[in-house]
Structures are given as structure tokens and as C-alpha cells.
Amino acid sequence: MASSDMKGFFRQKKKSGISKPKSSKKSSKPKHSASCGSDIVQPPALVSHGSLDLQDEYDGKEEVLRQFDMNMAYGPCLGMSRLERWERANALGLHPPKEVENLLRTGKVNTECLWDGRV
């Protein structure tokens, strides 16, 4: 346990170790981007779902959706899909941005909120 080699500590590398069917995990795999940089400084707690946190697909669209998640005016974001939360905000007359709705309905974006699967 005193080894500083994180890769040895976590036998969760895709190439070796437990072989899980990749396709079943793909749709529910959340996109973690809590750290930017190398995975050597990755704290253990953030490694989950059999993959290390990678800075992947964190683009402008995701940024817009994250700002929508974080906006307190539309209520808490945990426990609901983003589209549901948008629809609730719309039904309550809060005028959520149309852009977010378009992204959620048509774009290939993460449907669940930022904290999904991490809290």
C-alpha cells in the first residue's frame, strides 16, 4: 500500500484484469473531468466505474449544460435527467434557455447532470 505507483494499486486497466463487456458500460459511463492533467496525481476516490478520470469531451456544449446544472434558479440538479429538469423549469415558468433544450434534444450530449453517479 505504500507503493506510490497508482497504476499498480488499481488493477482496473482495461487491457488486463477483469474483462467486462465494454458495450454495456458505454451508455452509462459518466464523463468525469474533475482533473486536468496526468493521472499520476489522480486521487483514488475519483477513480470509479473501472476507468480513470479523463478529460474527455468537455467541450463548449458540455460547458453550457454544466452552467445550466449549476444555476440554482432552476432548482437542484441531482436525481433528475437534464431534460426533465429543463422541462420542470419550463413548466414552472422560469424561462430556461432554449439553447439548452435544443442541445439536450438533438445534440450528442450527456443526458444526466454533472454530479450523476458521483454523489
Q: Does 43 bind other proteins (CB under 8 A)?
A: no
> Cα dihedral sign for 70, 72, 109, 107?
negative
- Nearer to other proteins by C-beta: 57 or 84? 84
Of the candidates 17, 43, 79, 107, which one interacts with other proteins according to CB under 8 A? 79
Let me know: does 85 contact 92? Beta carbons within 8 Å: no
Q: 50 is written with which cell numbers? A: 473501472
Of the candidates 8, 37, 44, 93, which one interacts with other proteins according to CB under 8 A? 93
Helix 60-70 and helix 82-91, axial crossing angle in degrees, nearest 10:
50
CB of 52: closest distance to other proteins in angstroms? 25
- Nearer to other proteins by C-beta: 53 or 116? 116
Tell me which residue of 55, 20, 21 sits closest to 38, measured CA to CA.
55
At a CB cut-off of 8 Å and minimum separation 6, what does 70 contact? 77, 114
- Nearer to other proteins by C-beta: 17 or 79? 79
Q: Does 70 bind other proteins (CB under 8 A)?
A: no
CB of 112: closest distance to other proteins in angstroms? 10
Residues at the site binding other proteins, with contacts judged by CB under 8 A: 72-73, 75-76, 78-81, 84, 87-88, 91-94
